[in-house]
Amino acid sequence: MAESNCLEQTFNHTRYQLAGHGKRDVAVLKKAFEHIDGQLESDRYGSGKVIEAFQEKMAALTGKDVAVFFPSGTMAQQIALRIWCDEKSLKKVAYHPLSHLEIHEEDGLKELHNIQAVLIGDKNRVISLEDVVELEEEVACLLLELPQREIGGQLPSFETLERISSYCREKGIKLQLDGARLLEVLPYYEKTAAEVCDLFDSVYISVYKGIGGIAGAILTGDPKFIANAKVWKRRHGGDLISLYPYIVAADYYFEQRIGKMDRYYQDAKELAALFNACHGVATLPIEPVSNMFHVHFDQSKEQMVELLSGLQQQTGIGIASYLKEVGEKTCSYELSLGDLYAAVPKEQLKSAFQLLDEKMKQKS
Protein backbone atom coordinates (compact mmCIF):
# COMPACT_ATOMS: atom_id res chain seq x y z
CA MET A 1 0.00 0.00 0.00
CA ALA A 2 2.78 2.39 0.92
CA GLU A 3 4.33 1.85 -2.51
CA SER A 4 1.10 2.53 -4.37
CA ASN A 5 0.45 5.63 -2.33
CA CYS A 6 3.93 6.78 -3.26
CA LEU A 7 3.11 6.38 -6.95
CA GLU A 8 -0.20 8.18 -6.53
CA GLN A 9 1.45 10.92 -4.54
CA THR A 10 4.24 11.63 -7.01
CA PHE A 11 1.65 11.47 -9.82
CA ASN A 12 -0.54 14.04 -8.08
CA HIS A 13 2.41 16.40 -7.78
CA THR A 14 3.27 16.39 -11.48
CA ARG A 15 2.75 19.42 -13.67
CA TYR A 16 1.51 17.42 -16.68
CA GLN A 17 -0.35 14.13 -17.00
CA LEU A 18 -0.51 11.81 -19.99
CA ALA A 19 -4.07 10.58 -19.60
CA GLY A 20 -7.55 11.87 -18.86
CA HIS A 21 -9.33 15.19 -18.94
CA GLY A 22 -8.09 16.35 -15.55
CA LYS A 23 -9.11 15.95 -11.93
CA ARG A 24 -12.59 14.69 -11.07
CA ASP A 25 -13.39 17.63 -8.83
CA VAL A 26 -16.25 20.03 -8.20
CA ALA A 27 -14.88 22.38 -10.87
CA VAL A 28 -16.16 19.86 -13.45
CA LEU A 29 -19.70 20.54 -12.25
CA LYS A 30 -19.21 24.28 -11.80
CA LYS A 31 -17.91 24.71 -15.33
CA ALA A 32 -20.85 22.81 -16.82
CA PHE A 33 -23.37 24.94 -14.91
CA GLU A 34 -21.62 28.28 -15.34
CA HIS A 35 -23.78 29.36 -18.26
CA ILE A 36 -26.96 27.53 -17.27
CA ASP A 37 -29.80 29.79 -16.19
CA GLY A 38 -30.78 29.21 -12.57
CA GLN A 39 -34.43 29.28 -13.64
CA LEU A 40 -34.03 26.16 -15.77
CA GLU A 41 -36.47 23.71 -14.25
CA SER A 42 -35.41 20.36 -12.87
CA ASP A 43 -36.48 17.19 -14.61
CA ARG A 44 -39.08 15.36 -12.54
CA TYR A 45 -39.11 11.55 -12.41
CA GLY A 46 -37.96 11.24 -16.02
CA SER A 47 -40.04 14.08 -17.46
CA GLY A 48 -39.15 17.63 -18.37
CA LYS A 49 -37.23 19.50 -21.01
CA VAL A 50 -33.74 18.98 -19.63
CA ILE A 51 -33.93 15.17 -19.67
CA GLU A 52 -36.11 14.82 -22.75
CA ALA A 53 -33.91 17.03 -24.93
CA PHE A 54 -30.76 15.11 -24.06
CA GLN A 55 -32.47 11.77 -24.54
CA GLU A 56 -33.64 12.85 -27.99
CA LYS A 57 -30.12 13.94 -28.89
CA MET A 58 -28.72 10.56 -27.83
CA ALA A 59 -31.44 8.64 -29.67
CA ALA A 60 -30.57 10.57 -32.83
CA LEU A 61 -26.84 10.01 -32.29
CA THR A 62 -27.25 6.25 -32.01
CA GLY A 63 -29.90 6.08 -34.73
CA LYS A 64 -32.42 4.50 -32.35
CA ASP A 65 -36.04 5.53 -31.80
CA VAL A 66 -35.83 6.43 -28.15
CA ALA A 67 -33.31 6.88 -25.34
CA VAL A 68 -33.49 6.97 -21.57
CA PHE A 69 -30.99 8.50 -19.15
CA PHE A 70 -29.84 6.25 -16.30
CA PRO A 71 -27.82 7.07 -13.19
CA SER A 72 -25.42 4.24 -14.07
CA GLY A 73 -24.42 1.81 -16.79
CA THR A 74 -24.63 -1.05 -14.31
CA MET A 75 -28.33 -0.38 -13.93
CA ALA A 76 -28.94 0.26 -17.63
CA GLN A 77 -27.30 -2.94 -18.80
CA GLN A 78 -28.83 -5.29 -16.24
CA ILE A 79 -32.20 -3.90 -17.25
CA ALA A 80 -31.52 -4.30 -20.97
CA LEU A 81 -30.59 -7.94 -20.44
CA ARG A 82 -33.62 -8.53 -18.23
CA ILE A 83 -35.97 -7.16 -20.86
CA TRP A 84 -34.54 -9.38 -23.60
CA CYS A 85 -34.63 -12.41 -21.29
CA ASP A 86 -38.25 -11.76 -20.34
CA GLU A 87 -39.19 -11.35 -24.00
CA LYS A 88 -37.79 -14.76 -24.80
CA SER A 89 -38.74 -16.36 -21.46
CA LEU A 90 -35.16 -17.52 -21.20
CA LYS A 91 -33.00 -16.30 -18.35
CA LYS A 92 -29.65 -16.79 -20.01
CA VAL A 93 -27.29 -14.30 -21.65
CA ALA A 94 -23.78 -14.48 -23.05
CA TYR A 95 -20.89 -12.09 -22.56
CA HIS A 96 -17.10 -11.89 -22.41
CA PRO A 97 -15.39 -13.39 -19.32
CA LEU A 98 -14.06 -9.93 -18.42
CA SER A 99 -17.32 -8.07 -18.94
CA HIS A 100 -18.16 -5.36 -16.37
CA LEU A 101 -21.18 -7.47 -15.41
CA GLU A 102 -18.95 -10.41 -14.57
CA ILE A 103 -16.24 -8.70 -12.56
CA HIS A 104 -17.49 -5.38 -11.18
CA GLU A 105 -21.14 -5.75 -10.22
CA GLU A 106 -21.19 -8.18 -7.29
CA ASP A 107 -23.27 -10.61 -9.35
CA GLY A 108 -26.17 -8.17 -9.59
CA LEU A 109 -27.53 -9.82 -12.72
CA LYS A 110 -27.88 -13.12 -10.91
CA GLU A 111 -28.82 -11.81 -7.46
CA LEU A 112 -31.42 -9.31 -8.66
CA HIS A 113 -32.62 -10.73 -11.96
CA ASN A 114 -31.83 -14.41 -11.59
CA ILE A 115 -30.18 -14.34 -15.02
CA GLN A 116 -27.44 -16.84 -15.76
CA ALA A 117 -24.40 -15.67 -17.66
CA VAL A 118 -22.68 -17.88 -20.23
CA LEU A 119 -19.09 -16.70 -20.57
CA ILE A 120 -18.13 -16.72 -24.22
CA GLY A 121 -14.69 -16.80 -25.83
CA ASP A 122 -11.24 -16.52 -24.33
CA LYS A 123 -10.62 -13.88 -21.72
CA ASN A 124 -7.46 -12.70 -23.48
CA ARG A 125 -9.05 -11.79 -26.80
CA VAL A 126 -12.26 -10.32 -28.18
CA ILE A 127 -15.29 -12.46 -29.03
CA SER A 128 -15.17 -13.92 -32.55
CA LEU A 129 -17.95 -15.07 -34.86
CA GLU A 130 -16.81 -18.66 -34.22
CA ASP A 131 -17.27 -18.16 -30.46
CA VAL A 132 -20.86 -17.15 -31.09
CA VAL A 133 -21.58 -19.95 -33.58
CA GLU A 134 -20.07 -22.52 -31.24
CA LEU A 135 -22.16 -21.43 -28.24
CA GLU A 136 -23.57 -24.66 -26.85
CA GLU A 137 -26.34 -23.09 -24.81
CA GLU A 138 -29.30 -21.15 -26.10
CA VAL A 139 -29.23 -17.53 -24.86
CA ALA A 140 -31.73 -14.67 -25.06
CA CYS A 141 -29.08 -12.03 -25.60
CA LEU A 142 -25.43 -11.54 -26.43
CA LEU A 143 -23.67 -8.53 -24.95
CA LEU A 144 -20.66 -7.18 -26.82
CA GLU A 145 -18.37 -4.57 -25.30
CA LEU A 146 -16.71 -2.14 -27.74
CA PRO A 147 -13.87 -1.71 -27.03
CA GLN A 148 -13.16 -4.63 -24.66
CA ARG A 149 -11.79 -2.57 -21.81
CA GLU A 150 -10.12 -5.17 -19.61
CA ILE A 151 -7.82 -6.30 -22.43
CA GLY A 152 -6.63 -2.81 -23.22
CA GLY A 153 -9.56 -1.75 -25.33
CA GLN A 154 -9.43 -4.20 -28.24
CA LEU A 155 -11.97 -4.42 -31.05
CA PRO A 156 -13.22 -6.99 -33.53
CA SER A 157 -13.14 -5.81 -37.14
CA PHE A 158 -16.30 -4.11 -38.35
CA GLU A 159 -16.85 -7.04 -40.74
CA THR A 160 -16.79 -9.45 -37.78
CA LEU A 161 -19.35 -7.28 -36.03
CA GLU A 162 -21.58 -7.35 -39.08
CA ARG A 163 -21.32 -11.13 -39.29
CA ILE A 164 -22.08 -11.59 -35.57
CA SER A 165 -25.05 -9.28 -35.94
CA SER A 166 -26.44 -11.16 -38.95
CA TYR A 167 -25.96 -14.47 -37.22
CA CYS A 168 -27.72 -13.30 -34.05
CA ARG A 169 -30.65 -11.90 -36.04
CA GLU A 170 -30.97 -15.17 -37.89
CA LYS A 171 -30.94 -17.12 -34.62
CA GLY A 172 -33.21 -14.76 -32.69
CA ILE A 173 -30.48 -13.72 -30.26
CA LYS A 174 -30.79 -10.08 -29.19
CA LEU A 175 -27.61 -8.07 -29.35
CA GLN A 176 -26.84 -5.52 -26.61
CA LEU A 177 -23.97 -3.08 -27.11
CA ASP A 178 -21.89 -2.25 -24.07
CA GLY A 179 -20.76 0.98 -25.66
CA ALA A 180 -19.42 2.61 -22.50
CA ARG A 181 -16.63 3.84 -24.82
CA LEU A 182 -18.47 3.64 -28.14
CA LEU A 183 -17.75 7.22 -29.21
CA GLU A 184 -14.04 6.56 -28.65
CA VAL A 185 -13.89 3.75 -31.27
CA LEU A 186 -15.71 5.52 -34.10
CA PRO A 187 -12.52 7.10 -35.56
CA TYR A 188 -10.92 3.65 -35.89
CA TYR A 189 -14.01 2.09 -37.46
CA GLU A 190 -14.53 5.20 -39.58
CA LYS A 191 -18.24 4.80 -38.92
CA THR A 192 -20.92 6.94 -37.33
CA ALA A 193 -22.39 5.89 -33.99
CA ALA A 194 -25.62 5.10 -35.81
CA GLU A 195 -23.84 2.81 -38.27
CA VAL A 196 -22.36 0.77 -35.41
CA CYS A 197 -25.57 0.82 -33.35
CA ASP A 198 -27.58 -0.36 -36.34
CA LEU A 199 -26.02 -3.80 -35.77
CA PHE A 200 -27.42 -3.91 -32.23
CA ASP A 201 -30.94 -4.14 -30.76
CA SER A 202 -30.12 -1.96 -27.77
CA VAL A 203 -27.21 0.26 -26.85
CA TYR A 204 -25.63 1.61 -23.68
CA ILE A 205 -23.26 4.58 -23.71
CA SER A 206 -21.46 6.09 -20.73
CA VAL A 207 -21.42 9.87 -20.34
CA TYR A 208 -18.34 10.04 -18.13
CA LYS A 209 -15.65 8.14 -20.04
CA GLY A 210 -14.49 9.95 -23.21
CA ILE A 211 -17.23 12.55 -22.77
CA GLY A 212 -16.01 13.27 -19.26
CA GLY A 213 -19.30 14.04 -17.52
CA ILE A 214 -19.91 13.46 -13.81
CA ALA A 215 -21.85 10.18 -13.90
CA GLY A 216 -24.68 8.59 -15.84
CA ALA A 217 -25.52 6.47 -18.83
CA ILE A 218 -27.76 6.35 -21.85
CA LEU A 219 -29.75 3.35 -23.03
CA THR A 220 -31.32 3.43 -26.47
CA GLY A 221 -33.57 1.09 -28.42
CA ASP A 222 -37.05 0.72 -29.87
CA PRO A 223 -40.10 2.32 -28.18
CA LYS A 224 -41.36 -0.88 -26.56
CA PHE A 225 -37.92 -1.71 -25.18
CA ILE A 226 -37.46 1.78 -23.74
CA ALA A 227 -40.97 1.90 -22.25
CA ASN A 228 -40.08 -1.31 -20.47
CA ALA A 229 -36.68 0.05 -19.43
CA LYS A 230 -38.40 2.99 -17.74
CA VAL A 231 -40.53 0.65 -15.62
CA TRP A 232 -37.41 -1.27 -14.60
CA LYS A 233 -35.57 1.97 -13.92
CA ARG A 234 -38.24 2.79 -11.35
CA ARG A 235 -38.03 -0.70 -9.85
CA HIS A 236 -34.25 -0.38 -9.50
CA GLY A 237 -34.59 2.93 -7.69
CA GLY A 238 -33.05 4.78 -10.63
CA ASP A 239 -36.00 6.99 -11.50
CA LEU A 240 -34.75 9.89 -9.39
CA ILE A 241 -36.84 13.00 -8.92
CA SER A 242 -33.90 14.95 -10.42
CA LEU A 243 -31.12 13.68 -12.64
CA TYR A 244 -30.25 17.10 -14.09
CA PRO A 245 -26.89 17.48 -12.33
CA TYR A 246 -25.62 14.57 -14.45
CA ILE A 247 -27.57 15.45 -17.59
CA VAL A 248 -26.51 19.10 -17.80
CA ALA A 249 -22.87 18.04 -17.30
CA ALA A 250 -23.18 15.22 -19.84
CA ASP A 251 -24.63 17.54 -22.45
CA TYR A 252 -22.03 20.24 -21.82
CA TYR A 253 -19.02 17.92 -22.11
CA PHE A 254 -20.56 15.98 -24.99
CA GLU A 255 -20.62 19.20 -27.00
CA GLN A 256 -17.06 20.03 -25.90
CA ARG A 257 -15.57 16.65 -26.75
CA ILE A 258 -17.60 14.81 -29.37
CA GLY A 259 -15.39 16.44 -32.03
CA LYS A 260 -12.18 15.46 -30.27
CA MET A 261 -12.49 11.67 -30.31
CA ASP A 262 -10.20 11.37 -33.34
CA ARG A 263 -7.62 13.59 -31.62
CA TYR A 264 -7.63 11.30 -28.55
CA TYR A 265 -7.27 8.26 -30.81
CA GLN A 266 -4.32 9.72 -32.73
CA ASP A 267 -2.71 10.76 -29.44
CA ALA A 268 -3.15 7.25 -28.07
CA LYS A 269 -1.33 5.78 -31.09
CA GLU A 270 1.49 8.31 -30.71
CA LEU A 271 1.85 7.69 -26.98
CA ALA A 272 1.70 3.91 -27.34
CA ALA A 273 4.55 4.10 -29.85
CA LEU A 274 6.64 6.02 -27.29
CA PHE A 275 6.03 3.30 -24.69
CA ASN A 276 6.76 0.49 -27.15
CA ALA A 277 10.08 2.11 -28.06
CA CYS A 278 11.24 1.58 -24.46
CA HIS A 279 13.12 -1.49 -23.30
CA GLY A 280 10.88 -3.97 -21.46
CA VAL A 281 7.68 -2.01 -22.10
CA ALA A 282 4.79 -3.03 -24.37
CA THR A 283 1.29 -1.72 -24.87
CA LEU A 284 -1.85 -3.81 -25.30
CA PRO A 285 -2.94 -3.53 -28.01
CA ILE A 286 0.39 -2.64 -29.66
CA GLU A 287 -1.45 -0.13 -31.81
CA PRO A 288 -4.48 1.30 -30.01
CA VAL A 289 -7.88 1.25 -31.76
CA SER A 290 -9.42 3.86 -29.46
CA ASN A 291 -8.22 6.45 -26.95
CA MET A 292 -7.19 3.72 -24.50
CA PHE A 293 -4.57 1.01 -24.01
CA HIS A 294 -2.77 -0.90 -21.28
CA VAL A 295 0.94 -0.63 -20.56
CA HIS A 296 2.84 -3.75 -19.49
CA PHE A 297 6.26 -3.57 -17.83
CA ASP A 298 8.71 -6.48 -17.65
CA GLN A 299 9.54 -5.70 -14.03
CA SER A 300 7.88 -6.41 -10.70
CA LYS A 301 5.33 -3.95 -9.42
CA GLU A 302 7.67 -3.06 -6.56
CA GLN A 303 10.52 -2.20 -8.93
CA MET A 304 8.26 -0.20 -11.25
CA VAL A 305 6.68 1.83 -8.45
CA GLU A 306 10.15 2.93 -7.43
CA LEU A 307 11.23 3.63 -11.01
CA LEU A 308 8.10 5.53 -12.06
CA SER A 309 7.86 7.51 -8.83
CA GLY A 310 11.39 8.74 -9.38
CA LEU A 311 10.71 9.46 -13.04
CA GLN A 312 7.58 11.47 -12.21
CA GLN A 313 9.46 13.54 -9.65
CA GLN A 314 12.36 14.10 -12.05
CA THR A 315 10.33 15.00 -15.14
CA GLY A 316 7.14 16.52 -13.76
CA ILE A 317 5.15 14.31 -16.10
CA GLY A 318 2.47 12.09 -14.60
CA ILE A 319 2.78 8.67 -16.20
CA ALA A 320 0.95 6.35 -13.78
CA SER A 321 -0.93 6.77 -10.52
CA TYR A 322 -1.24 3.03 -9.85
CA LEU A 323 0.09 -0.34 -11.04
CA LYS A 324 -1.49 -3.76 -11.07
CA GLU A 325 0.58 -6.86 -10.41
CA VAL A 326 0.26 -9.21 -13.39
CA GLY A 327 2.92 -11.83 -12.61
CA GLU A 328 5.87 -11.99 -10.27
CA LYS A 329 7.95 -10.08 -12.74
CA THR A 330 5.35 -8.04 -14.63
CA CYS A 331 2.86 -5.33 -13.91
CA SER A 332 0.52 -3.12 -15.90
CA TYR A 333 -1.87 -0.19 -15.85
CA GLU A 334 -4.47 1.50 -18.03
CA LEU A 335 -4.38 4.81 -19.88
CA SER A 336 -7.31 6.63 -21.50
CA LEU A 337 -6.29 9.69 -23.44
CA GLY A 338 -8.22 12.91 -23.10
CA ASP A 339 -7.71 16.65 -23.04
CA LEU A 340 -4.55 16.63 -20.92
CA TYR A 341 -2.18 14.96 -23.39
CA ALA A 342 -2.17 17.92 -25.78
CA ALA A 343 -0.78 20.15 -23.01
CA VAL A 344 2.37 18.08 -22.41
CA PRO A 345 5.33 19.83 -24.10
CA LYS A 346 6.67 17.49 -26.79
CA GLU A 347 10.33 17.96 -25.83
CA GLN A 348 9.70 17.13 -22.17
CA LEU A 349 7.66 14.15 -23.24
CA LYS A 350 10.49 12.87 -25.43
CA SER A 351 13.06 13.31 -22.66
CA ALA A 352 10.84 11.51 -20.16
CA PHE A 353 10.54 8.50 -22.45
CA GLN A 354 14.29 8.47 -23.13
CA LEU A 355 14.80 8.39 -19.40
CA LEU A 356 12.24 5.61 -18.99
CA ASP A 357 14.03 3.58 -21.65
CA GLU A 358 17.41 4.08 -19.94
CA LYS A 359 16.08 3.18 -16.50
CA MET A 360 14.37 0.06 -17.86
CA LYS A 361 17.65 -1.03 -19.48
CA GLN A 362 19.49 -0.54 -16.17
CA LYS A 363 16.95 -2.71 -14.36
CA SER A 364 17.12 -5.63 -16.76
Say how far apart CA 260 and CA 187 lie, in whole Å: 10
Residues that contact a copy of itself, how many (by CB under 8 A)? 52
Put residue 121 in one of left, alpha, beta given phi > 0 → left and psi -120 to 50 → alpha: left
Is the CB of residue 58 less than 8 Å from the CB of residue 206? no
Interface with a copy of itself, residue 214, by CB under 8 A: yes
Nearest approach in angstroms of CB 245 to a copy of itself is 3
- Going by C-alpha positions, the residue among 161, 165, 208, 214 that lies closest to residue 188 is 161
Nearest approach in angstroms of CB 82 to a copy of itself is 9
- Going by C-alpha positions, the residue among 336, 364, 363, 325 that lies closest to residue 3 is 325
Nearest approach in angstroms of CB 311 to a copy of itself is 25
CA distances from 233 to 227, 237, 354 (A): 10, 6, 51
Q: 274: which strand partners?
A: none
Interface with a copy of itself, residue 340, by CB under 8 A: no
> Which x/- pattern over 255-294 shows residues binding a copy of itself (rule: CB under 8 A)?
----------------------------------------
Q: 3-state class of 98 per DSSP? A: coil
What is the radius of gyration, based on Cα positions, of the chain? 21
Interface with a copy of itself, residue 160, by CB under 8 A: no
Q: 3-state class of 247 per DSSP? A: helix
- By beta-carbon proximity to a copy of itself, the closer residue of 63 and 245 is 245
Which residue of 57, 113, 191, 263 would you call a contact of a copy of itself, by CB under 8 A? Answer: 113
- Going by C-alpha positions, the residue among 241, 278, 85, 60 that lies closest to residue 174 is 85
- By beta-carbon proximity to a copy of itself, the closer residue of 238 and 288 is 238
Interface with a copy of itself, residue 24, by CB under 8 A: yes
Which residue of 236, 260, 294, 296 would you call a contact of a copy of itself, by CB under 8 A? Answer: 236
Which residue of 246, 252, 275, 333 would you call a contact of a copy of itself, by CB under 8 A? Answer: 246
Nearest approach in angstroms of CB 267 to a copy of itself is 23
Binding window for a copy of itself (CB under 8 A); candidates: 133-141, 238-246, 275-283, 302-310: 238-246
Interface with a copy of itself, residue 210, by CB under 8 A: no
Say how far apart CA 297 and CA 306 lie, in whole Å: 13
Q: Quick one: CA dihedral 154, 132, 217, 69, positive or negative?
A: positive
Nearest approach in angstroms of CB 77 to a copy of itself is 8
Interface with a copy of itself, residue 129, by CB under 8 A: no
> Which x/- pattern over 48-87 shows residues binding a copy of itself (rule: CB under 8 A)?
----------------------xxxxxxx-x---------
Say how far apart CA 290 and CA 280 lie, in whole Å: 23
Q: 3-state class of 124 per DSSP? A: coil
Distance between alpha carbon 133 and the CA centroid of its chain, in Å?
26
Q: Which residues, 6 or more positions from 97, have their beta carbon under 8 angstroms from its beta carbon?
A: 119, 120, 121, 122, 123
> Which x/- pattern over 180-209 shows residues binding a copy of itself (rule: CB under 8 A)?
----------------------------x-
Is the CB of residue 348 less than 8 Å from the CB of residue 48? no
Interface with a copy of itself, residue 243, by CB under 8 A: yes
Interface with a copy of itself, residue 89, by CB under 8 A: no
Interface with a copy of itself, residue 116, by CB under 8 A: no
Contact set with a copy of itself (CB under 8 A): 23-30, 33, 36-42, 44, 70-76, 78, 105-108, 111-114, 208, 214-215, 231-232, 234-246, 248
